[in-house]
Amino acid sequence: EVFHELRANMADKMLLVMAEYDGAIIGGALNFIGSDALFGRNWGADLDIPCLHFEACYYQAIEFAIERGLSQVEAGAQGFHKVQRGYMPSTTWSAHWVAHDGFRAAIERFLEAERRGIDEEKNHIT
């Protein structure tokens, strides 16, 4: 249902990259077009083909952004492989509501430790 809504309301703000093999669609990447950036977040494939992920998610997105004069391709969080393709790390954030006090405290402890590790890795990469 969500994809029908996206098509009906945001078709002009999406770039869908489809991968075809032997006449069948075997993968793709969904990107959202902003005013000056392309945002890539969703990807999937039915076959494990070397470098398909990079072609669908990064190289096609970069070509599209250049052709449209967009200044940035935001490839999403995580992935050392992105640095090898010219994406520099930046800190992101998310917001969550957790009802259970004990579970919330456990998540907070985990996130604090994870945050330190991410900061160290980011400093190492840059």
Cα 30 to Cα 40: distance, rounded to the nearest angstrom: 6
Give how far Cα 56 sits from Cα of 11, 19, 77, 107, 112, Å: 19, 7, 17, 34, 34
- Contact 98/105 with Cβ under 8 angstroms? no
The residue segments making up the domain with residue 46 are: 2-88
61 and 116 share one domain: no
80 and 97 share one domain: no
CATH of the domain at 50: 3.40.630.30
Q: For 6-56, what is each residue's pLDDT tens digit?
A: 999 999 999 999 999 999 999 999 999 999 999 987 899 999 999 999 899
Task: Tell me, yes or no, if the pTM score tops 0.75.
Answer: no
Count CB-CB contacts under 10 A for residue 126: 9
65 and 103 share one domain: no
8 and 62 share one domain: yes
How confident is the model at residue 95, as a pLDDT?
A: 86
**What is the tally of structural domains in the chain?**
2
50 and 33 share one domain: yes
